[in-house]
Chains A and B, each alone.
Chain A
Amino acid sequence: QITLKESGPTLVKPTQTLTLTCTFSGFSLSTSGVGVGWIRQPPGKALEWLALIYWDDDKRYSPSLKSRLTITKDTSKNQVVLTMTNMDPVDTATYYCAHIDYGDAPGAFDIWGQGTMVTVSS
């Protein structure tokens, strides 16, 4: 059974850097075709894809946020970390991590974490 869980601060100040960790189980991020992505959702608004890291350490970023994002993985710890710099109140959102496997459902996030709410405020 695949599970993912996000963790990190619930409150950050404007201009600070946000660091979120996705801890997962039930799969290995060293398996070909597997990846973990981050998606966020501001309160009452739509989903927005942020970044994704593949089993081979290939990384993809949202073009509009690329300059602020960094995604890394620690395969031995079954963790993926997302950092976002220069946080602003508009970045207030629930942040989700999600699993992707091109062998099962190409291009789709088939298992999601429960999400973690991050508020940006001074």
Chain B
Amino acid sequence: QSALTQPPSVSGSPGQSVTISCTGTSSDVGSYNRVSWYQQPPGTAPKLMIYEVSNRPSGVPDRFSGSKSGNTASLTISGLQAEDEADYYCSLYTSSSTSWVFGGGTKLTVL
């Protein structure tokens, strides 16, 4: 199971929206819905933001949303805030391999 592909960096101004993509293949992202997204500010542990493609854990602002189309999952952050600046990682669990794979991570800069 290969790592998922994310853009190395994205940026946006406060109040804008940004979308981070997570691309796999028809055998992984295209076939399974256990896609999750994690936020990791510098020097801290990852925090779960989205699970099962589009579900938010309690406490996560509704500015964060997830979706999937074909072999690509996406995380959209609307109404960007300075505190959203962090690294973001997607992850996929596949029952066929009973294992997890992470994306390479995307650094979000709030301009």
By a beta-carbon cutoff of 8 Å, the part of chain A in contact with chain B is 37, 39, 46-49, 52, 60-63, 96, 104-115
Which listed residue (A63, A105, A110, A115) contacts B99, Cβ 8 A?
A63
A-B contact count, CB below 8 Å?
70
Which listed residue (B1, B45, B103) contacts A113, Cβ 8 A?
B45
Query: Across the two chains, which residue of chain B brings its CB closest to A37?
Result: B100
A105 and B102 form a contact (CB under 8 A): no
Give chain B residues whose Cβ lies under 8 Å from the Cβ of A96.
45-46
B window 1-59: CB within 8 A of A: 1, 3, 34, 36, 38, 45-48, 51-52, 55, 57
Nearest CB on A from B81, distance (A): 22
Which listed residue (A47, A52, A104, A114) contacts B38, Cβ 8 A?
A47
- What are the nearest 10 A-B pairs in CB distance? A107-B34, A107-B93, A108-B51, A108-B36, A49-B100, A105-B51, A112-B45, A47-B102, A46-B105, A110-B48
A108 and B91 form a contact (CB under 8 A): yes
Nearest CB on B from A78, distance (A): 19
Name which of A48, A63, A106 has the most chain B CB atoms within 10 A of its CB. Answer: A106
B89 and A47 form a contact (CB under 8 A): yes
Query: Across the two chains, which residue of chain A brings its CB closest to B44?
Result: A114
Given A47-B102, A60-B99, A105-B36, also A110-B57 (CB < 8 A)? yes
Per-residue interface assignment for chain B, residues 87 to 107, with 1 indicating a CB less than 8 Å from any chain A CB and 0 otherwise: 001010100011111111100
Query: Across the two chains, which residue of chain B brings its CB closest to A107?
Result: B34
Give chain B residues whose Cβ lies under 8 Å from the Cβ of A46.
3, 89, 102-105
Nearest CB on B from A49, distance (A): 4
Given A46-B102, A49-B100, A63-B99, also A106-B34 (CB < 8 A)? yes
Query: Across the two chains, which residue of chain A brings its CB closest to B100?
Result: A49
Nearest CB on A from B71, distance (A): 18
CA distance A46 to B52 in the complex (A): 21
